[in-house]
Structure 1
Amino acid sequence: MAEAVVFDMDGVLVESEHLWEEFWAAFAAERGAQWGPEQTKRCQGMSAPEWAAFLTGFAGGGDSPEATERAVVDGMVRALEEGRIDLLPGARAMVADAAACAPIALASSAPRRVIDGVLVHHGIDHHFKVTVSSAEVARGKPSPDVYLAAAERLGVSADSCLAVEDSSNGLRAAAAAGMTVVAIPNPQYPPAADALAAAVFAAADHDAVRRYLLSRLKEGDRA
């Protein structure tokens, strides 16, 4: 039985992947560069310093990576305040029920400002024992660093954790950490077949994922 659950945030708890793409593309367009699906695919899973460096070079506007990151993250924070970052259907119950059975953590590519803002805004921050941004570890996804850090801070082994992910690089990161991977494939940005193959369970329905998580936790009879 699993001892803990580690959730991704963008695309798993909230509908926000399209907003990252929107702000990356807008930043590039303001500097005369055309952002497309290939650039989005490349950046998904990167930490904020990683995608900021890439976007800065791609846009070619002479900005510093720090200024690029600040501009995009400011946009995401405004979007949250404007009610544009919604919890996905069933995400609240999935988090609350998992937390009632075992310690849960968040391992997100989002920067700290966005993580804290989203969790507090939606009133689910109290469920998480640990939250880790990939900006706080050496490498972003698909490297396993953020998942390994989450497990370490929870005080459990990575191979005793369930990890819930939606994207290619997130699925790869969780698998590389040795966690049991559960997929909620993002319909707008579907994961690659090789990444999805790492998942032991996959469903588009959050309630189905909730029930699976509870079945694997030590107190799974609460399902």
Structure 2
Amino acid sequence: MTDPDPLVLEDVSLTLPSPAGPVEILRGLDVRVAAGERVALVGPSGSGKSSLISVAAGLERPTGGRVLLFGQDLARLDEDGRARLRRGQVSLVFQAFHLLPNMTAEENVAAPLEIAGERDATATAKGWLERVGLARRGHHYPHQLSGGEQQRVALARALASRPKLLFADEPTGNLDAANAAHVAELMFDLVAMTGAALVLVTHDEALAAKADRTVRLRDGRVAEPA
């Protein structure tokens, strides 16, 4: 029996309240991501890209439709159940780096591993910082690192647990062109090394072109076949 696809969205909709009345964010989305597949989500601002990630990762409940994460129907799980399902299998990288300011780069990478009970968390963190070219920056705090270095730490933290699925929401959006290119190359190389599937939100067509497949969103719908 084959393992289920990491991610399946079936007729997913999301409507959120606003002062002007309900707003339809997602409208009947169907998206499937296979094991190890790298999928780019592109589209104009407000098309639903980040909302799709929130729903797919179980951070936001859809209004309708079904989300299957590793074959598990997220609607059947409570918040703790969704968190347990994500643990060790799903990681996220955001445009904002979300590093803990009172921890060094090494501690930022090691902390999730320690929470997960890994005995060699520090050694693993050091190894991943070396992979992203920051072996000598492990004892620096986030404010002592450049934006590109901070995002590389965030990438190391996300992949150190060797997840099966990585969500990346505009991971190069806060970086200059040179750092963006470096982070993008690292991300695709490391995802390939770990075998993780990747769901990438980006406005950068050149970055999207590195993916195996591009899904274009417009007004909360898939504008081209997924």
TM-score, normalised on structure 2?
0.31
Max Rg structure:
2
Which has more strand, going by share of residues? 2
TM-score, normalised on structure 1?
0.32
Which has more helix, going by share of residues? 1
